[in-house]
Amino acid sequence: MSGAVGHLTKFHNCRILRDGEIIHEHLWVRDGRFVDPEKIFYGEKIQPDEIVDCGGALISPGYIEMQINGGYGIDFSHNIENVEEGISKVAKELLGHGVTSFCPTLVTSSPEVYRKVLPRIKRTDGGPQGAGVLGVHVEGPFISPNKKGAHEEFYIKRFDKGFTTLMEVYGSLDNICYVTLAPELSHTCEIIQELCDRQIKVSVGHSTANLKEGEEAVRAGASFITHLFNAMLPFHHRDPGLVGLLTSDQIPQERKIHYGIIADGIHTHPAALRIAHRTAPEGLVLVTDAISALGLPEGLHMLGQQDIEVRAGRAYIAKTNTLCGSTTDMSECVRFFKQATGCTTVDALEAATLHPARALGLEGRKGVLEYGADADFIILNDNLEVLSTWIAGERVYLNKKSLASDRVELARQDIQL
């Protein structure tokens, strides 16, 4: 598709997800953004330069991935000598799963790793080269050793000197968008307030915190829960722990809590998915927590500095039965979530688009098909399989295995008016 300035494209014969509904409506794109056709018809009085017949397919905003540790042999916390190359490889592959932007995630690591890697993962716009980078999600090292999951205990730290400790570990906050920490650690509330003052969002997770400690963290500014149910105290009727944040009445109403959940059929039982969705549907954010084994055969791989073994589709710390991330892509998670919960197509898609955009504070630009937003979107069939992926109005991926994709491709023509 032409990327020329002012090039106007009309997508027709499609259904689009907008304002919580799937409607039959055309989609118009110019200069990388969605545009209002009324202004074109009645104001500019011009015709489109190009028309794309979508063959009745569904158009959704592009998926946003908030927690991904790597994929295709790349581990963002391990491949520190060729960081940029690794990010680029994963970013390119993600296009095939409908992901148009993502947050590369670093697991608990040494200060040396953070200082080498963080300055080199820059925020970037997406395009044919790959999905856009929205900032780094640092998951640790300020977590509970009792809920470390696959994180290396040797590198776990406490805030011994408050915010100074955090800066000594990370070196710089410039490229960070999210920090996962355990709210029960000392000095946590002041750390959260300082991070929020610097426009960095905070998630609670890998934690033994009780509900009260979680509520204090939220009042201090935390706004997300990292992979709900995993690496935290299990729900208990006398103290529901961090899970209780979904229904707490001790949090200001204006504070919206979002939570990540791994819908891969392994990390979270379908019944637990249903409980979360029915309890707090607007806060639910699908994440993959994918590791370097994503897209690769079963066998030995890496997560941070640890050996990982993938057996029967499940990733474990080598020689243990401890789960350590997923090998499922976002497109699969969306489909599994819809099937497991019985939710609507709108609910399933918004959990991977609108909700993560809101959690990141980007809903004016990402995760929507609203006028003025970035024209990052995907075209799906009725089974929610990705037919094509588009960034800034340019097609960056085509599913060549799909006949439906072929029909859309054949219908895409420059027109003479």
Residue 392, marked binder = no
Residue 150, marked binder = yes
Report the relative pairing of strands 58-61 and 15-18 from DSSP bridges.
Answer: parallel
Residue 231, marked binder = yes
Any catalytic annotation for residue 289?
yes
Residue 323, marked binder = yes
Residue 325, marked binder = yes
State the amino acid at position 320 in one-letter form: T
Residue 238, marked binder = yes
Q: Which of 289, 347, 374, 376 is catalytic?
A: 289
SS3 letters across the chain: CCCCCCCEEEEECCEEEECCEEEECCEEEECCEECCHHHHHHHHCCCCCEEEECCCCEEEECEEEEEECEECCEECCCCCCCHHHHHHHHHHHHHHHCEEEEEEEEECCCHHHHHHHHHHCCCECCECCECEECCEEEECCCCCHHHCCCCCHHHCCCCCCCHHHHHHHHCCCCCEEEEEECCCCCCHHHHHHHHHHCCCEEEECCECCCHHHHHHHHHHCCCEECCCCCCECCCCCCCCHHHHHHCCCCCCCCCCCEEEEECCCCCCCHHHHHHHHHHCHHHEEEECCECCCCCCCCEEEEECCEEEEEECCEEEECCCCCECCECCCHHHHHHHHHHHHCCCHHHHHHCCCHHHHHHHCCCCCCCCCCCCCECCEEEECCCCCEEEEEECCEEEEECCCCHHHHHHHHHEEECCC
Residue 301, marked binder = no
Residue 217, marked binder = no
Write out the binding residues.
139, 150, 206, 227, 230-231, 238, 267, 323-325
Binding-site entries for substrate: 150, 230-231, 238, 267, 323-325
Q: Which residues are catalytic?
A: 289
Residue ranges of the annotated binding site for Zn(2+) are 139, 206, 227
